[in-house]
């Protein structure tokens, strides 16, 4: 990994407040979103390019991993940190293993750090076996795409081992690095849009959530900027035109080749939403939210919520069993019992008594010392079957993510 950091001692609360104001001022000048709460914050530079801010216990640290974004991002962060350092009221030490500010030579840091890193990455991916699967730069996501054999899940989409064998080093950099040059060129804007399309875009559901709506607009802005800078650059034109139709936005890009070939966007298909140690199999274009420890996944259209699933997790010191009183089996229309020796699932289905044709499903998933309580409201039997499919594909994987679990 290739890191850049800025660190310093903060002696008083007043110094801390002044430093935060200073960071906010510089971010405003660079038009970078900056969020901070109780000394923990993030500067959002570009897709995959974020700077972590931690000001606590009389010490301030700003750091980022530039290997995931590219040499252009590395140069930008160094210049940003240099400005913060020079204008700060306290002493801040800049640590850059590439020493970019010594000569501002981007080609040198490419040869020194970024090309060797990419070479090791391509060599590793090209040796994947048929049954192997991997993820790259995916740690901070709330969901995981469904894996494919001999492929790597990346912010740019699936990359296959066979592809890695054929790519030149330069081509690989354009496939994995968003920001390759000092200036934000056409490739930067196309790559930024591609990452947002693959990772976060909800497409037809983009109109029902303000964050998703703003993301759809920013993708269109980035693609139009890329086209303005390079008329010959291939673009994900099908996805651009789809978003323009959804946003009722003027199409400004014509006669451009489609890039890349094929479907773009993990969230057009089913994905695994991460909830503690559980992986919840559900449509990728769902609107995800939390109410305390309860994760809510909604499928919507212009008129109604088609399927709303509420999931709450529980843990125990001992092996868990079903809470039978939770499941109302009286007058149930359908039920599900599943036991593979490791995971056990029970569910019941009822008609909603609200004058609609809606259905209400209650379910429990039990594995070892953990349980999920699931409540789903379905607009019809089609969406009930989708909820059943979700239960059938539920997985639990031990991992260090327990912040949504309720201990009992």
Peptide bond into 259 cis (omega under 30): no
pLDDT of residue 407: 32
- Confidence grade of residue 136 (pLDDT, cut at 50, 70, 90): confident
pLDDT (tens digit per residue) in 190-226: 999 999 999 999 998 888 889 999 999 999 999 999 9
Task: Give residue-wise pLDDT tens across range 116-130.
Answer: 999 998 998 888 888
pLDDT score recorded for residue 285:
92
41 three-state secondary structure: strand
pLDDT tops 60 at residue 403:
no
pLDDT surpasses 70 at 406: no
**CA 16 and chain centroid, separation:** 31
Q: Does domain 3-103 have CATH number 3.30.160.110?
A: yes
Return the half-sphere exposure (C-beta side, CA atoms, 13 A cut-off) of residue 199: 22
pTM of the predicted protein model: 0.88
Higher-confidence position of 356 and 168: 168
User: Per-residue pLDDT averaged across 146-168, rounded?
Assistant: 88
> Which comes out higher in pLDDT, residue 371 or 397?
371
* CA 325 to chain centroid: 37
Q: What is the pLDDT of residue 398?
A: 61
Residue 399 has a pLDDT of 55
How many Å apart are CA 127 and CA 296, to the nearest integer? 39
Choosing among 3.20.20.70, 3.30.70.20, 3.40.1000.10, 3.90.550.10, the CATH entry for 269-407 is 3.40.1000.10
Q: Determine the length of the chain.
A: 408
Every domain range in the chain assigned CATH 3.30.160.110: 3-103
Q: How many CB atoms lie within 10 A of CB 304?
A: 10
**100 Cβ neighbours under 8 A, 6+ residues apart:** 74, 75, 78, 106, 109
Quick check: 346 pLDDT over 70? Answer: yes
Q: Could you tell me the pLDDT band of residue 401, with boundaries at 50, 70 and 90?
A: very low
Report how far residue 231's alpha carbon sits from residue 355's, in angstroms, rounded to the nearest whole number: 56
Q: How confident is the model at residue 408 (pLDDT cuts 50, 70, 90)?
A: very low
Buried b (16+ CB within 10 A) or exposed e, 309-339: bebbbbbeeeebeeeeeebeeeeeeeeeeee
Mean pLDDT computed over 239-260: 93
> Residue range 62-72: average pLDDT?
94
pLDDT at 314 over 50: yes
**Rounded Cα–Cα distance for residues 228 and 222 (Å):** 10
140 vs 37, higher pLDDT: 37
Reference 179, options 209, 161, 155, 201; nearest CA is 155
DSSP strands (E only) in 277-324: 278-283, 287-291, 294-300, 305-315
What's the rounded Cα separation, in Å, for the pair 94 and 4?
A: 8
pLDDT in tens, 261-294: 778 999 999 999 999 999 999 999 999 999 999 9
Residue 315 confidence (pLDDT) above 70: yes
């Amino acid at each position: 990994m290739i890191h850049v950091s800025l660190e310093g001692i903060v002696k008083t609360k007043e110094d801390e407040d002044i430093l935060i104001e200073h960071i906010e001022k510089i971010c405003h000048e660079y038009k970078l979103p900056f969020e901070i709460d109780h000394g923990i914050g993030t500067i959002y530079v570009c897709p995959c390019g974020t700077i972590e801010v931690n000001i606590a216990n009389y010490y301030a640290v700003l750091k980022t991993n530039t290997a995931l974004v590219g040499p252009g991002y590395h140069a930008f962060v160094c210049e940003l940190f240099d400005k913060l350092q020079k204008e700060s009221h306290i002493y801040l030490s800049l640590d850059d293993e590439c020493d970019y500010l010594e000569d501002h030579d981007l080609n040198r840091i490419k040869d020194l750090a970024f090309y060797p890193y990419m070479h090791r990455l391509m060599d590793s991916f090209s040796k994947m076996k048929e049954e192997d699967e991997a993820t790259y730069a995916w740690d901070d996501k709330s969901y995981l795409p469904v894996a494919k054999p001999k492929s790597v899940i990346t912010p740019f989409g699936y990359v296959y081992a066979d592809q890695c064998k054929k790519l030149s080093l330069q081509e690989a950099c354009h496939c994995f690095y968003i920001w390759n040059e000092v200036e934000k060129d056409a490739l930067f804007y196309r790559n930024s849009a591609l990452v947002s399309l693959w990772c976060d875009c909800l497409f037809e559901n983009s109109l029902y959530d303000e964050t998703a709506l703003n993301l759809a607009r920013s993708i269109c802005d980035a693609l139009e900027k890329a086209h303005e800078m390079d008329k010959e650059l291939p673009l994900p034109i099908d996805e651009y035109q789809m978003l323009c139709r959804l946003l009722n936005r003027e199409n400004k890009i014509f006669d451009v080749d489609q890039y890349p070939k094929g479907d773009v966007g993990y969230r057009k298909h089913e994905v695994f939403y991460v909830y503690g140690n559980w992986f919840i199999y559900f449509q990728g274009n769902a609107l995800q939210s939390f109410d305390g420890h309860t994760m809510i996944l909604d499928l919507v259209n212009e008129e109604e919520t088609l399927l709303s699933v509420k999931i709450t997790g529980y843990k125990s010191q001992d092996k868990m069993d079903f809470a039978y009183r939770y499941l109302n089996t009286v007058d149930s229309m359908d039920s599900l019992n599943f036991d593979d020796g490791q995971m056990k699932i029970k569910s019941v289905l009822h008609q909603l008594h609200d004058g609609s044709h809606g259905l209400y499903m209650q379910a429990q998933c039990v594995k070892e010392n953990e349980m999920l309580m699931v409540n789903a409201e379905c607009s019809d039997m089609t969406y009930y079957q989708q909820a059943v499919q979700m239960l059938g594909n539920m997985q639990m994987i031990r991992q260090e993510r327990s912040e949504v679990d309720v201990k009992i």
